[in-house]
Amino acid sequence: GQQLNQSPQSMFIQEGEDVSMNCTSSSIFNTWLWYKQDPGEGPVLLIALYKAGELTSNGRLTAQFGITRKDSFLNISASIPSDVGIYFCAGQLPTSGTYKYIFGTGTRLKVLA
């Protein structure tokens, strides 16, 4: 099935560093969502973005909906060990109604203490 291009695929960073990851698509999206998945768990929603140019924060996390509507990024500031996990972006196509999302392949984040 269709998937979003998400990069980087994996990251090893030192505790306290900032992290940036992004998703790009050739298609326009109506909504962007960012999820985090811990080992053995299902994804948990971190941030939802609903309009082009929107910049939203959730604690140390900041995400933006690209103005072209074809990309989004997620930043994590001052990383801590519990930030370890897989981060997924998900986009909703305009033609898909309000329920179908396409997911990125994920960014695996490892934080070195």
Partner 1 sequence: GAGVSQSPSNKVTEKGKDVELRCDPISGHTALYWYRQSLGQGLEFLIYFQGNSAPDKSGLPSDRFSAERTGGSVSTLTIQRTQQEDSAVYLCASKLSGRSYEQYFGPGTRLTVT
Q: Which is nearer to partner 1, 9 or 68 (CB)?
A: 9
**Which x/- pattern over 12-31 shows residues binding partner 1 (rule: CB under 8 A)?**
-------------------x
Work out which of 12, 59, 99, 113 binds partner 1, going by CB under 8 A: 99
SS3 percent helix, strand, coil of the chain, rounded to 5, is: 5, 55, 40
Stretch that binds partner 1, among 12-20, 35-43, 53-61, 71-79 (CB under 8 A): 35-43
Q: Write the DSSP assignment of 25-74 as a string of letters.
A: -SS--SEEEEEEE-TTS--EEEEEE-STT-EEEETTEEEEE-TTSSEEEE
- Of 13-21, 43-51, 56-64, 72-80: span binding partner 1 (CB under 8 A): 43-51
